[in-house]
Amino acid sequence: MSTVAAVRDMQTGDLTAVAAIEAASFGDAWPLSAFADLLTRPYARLRVAIDHTGAVCGYCVLLRAADEGEIANIATHPARRGQGLGGQLLDDALAEADSAGAAAIFLEVRDSNVAALALYTGRGFLQVGRRRRYYQHPTEDALVMRRTRDAH
């Protein structure tokens, strides 16, 4: 069961915590500056999950273009995994995309990330492609997944 108090828009003051979660989660981590830049972009929607103390425990980056969206990045703090935070963040992004009229949402995920694959398939995502050797640390294929509006 999740212990998130809220999911809200990411703020500049959240960037250090987000970058730390990113670095702990991915070998190909985005730098803090990438998140800071996206905060200024009208096509990007960055959200954080916070606990009852106000601590950031996860985040999601949704990018929108025309009638499509992309979950560009999503992660939870390693100590908070398995509590439903990723699902809450994903559901929040999908609701935003649906309300904006997105016909399809895309994402990429490591071929070996069983937990993420289960989360995504459980939300109606289907594999539509593979990017060979997409990830570099360690080297691994990315599965391209898509969820259409009629999938839920």
> Mind listing the pLDDT tens digit for each residue in 29-45?
999 999 999 999 999 99
User: What per-residue confidence (pLDDT) applies to 92?
Assistant: 96
34/144 Cα distance (integer angstroms): 22
Residue 4 pLDDT exceeds 90: no
> Mind listing the pLDDT tens digit for each residue in 91-137?
999 999 999 999 999 999 999 999 999 999 999 999 999 999 888 88
Per-residue pLDDT band at 58 (split at 50, 70, 90): very high
User: What per-residue confidence (pLDDT) applies to 152?
Assistant: 55
Q: Which long-range contacts (CB under 8 A, 24 or more apart) does 71-76 make?
A: 71/105, 71/106, 71/107, 72/44, 72/107, 73/22, 73/30, 74/107, 75/21, 75/22, 75/25, 75/26, 76/21, 76/25, 76/49
What's the pTM value of the predicted model, to 2 decimals? 0.93
Structure tokens at 1: 């069961």
Superfamily name with CATH number, domain 6-151: Gcn5-related N-acetyltransferase (GNAT) (3.40.630.30)
Buried/exposed 121-142: b ≥16 CB within 10 Å, e otherwise: eebbbeeeeeeeebbeeeebbb
Structure tokens at 12: 């500049």
User: What per-residue confidence (pLDDT) applies to 145?
Assistant: 97
Provide the residue ranges of all domains of the chain, joining segments of one domain with +. Answer: 6-151
Tell me the three state secondary structure of residue 57: strand
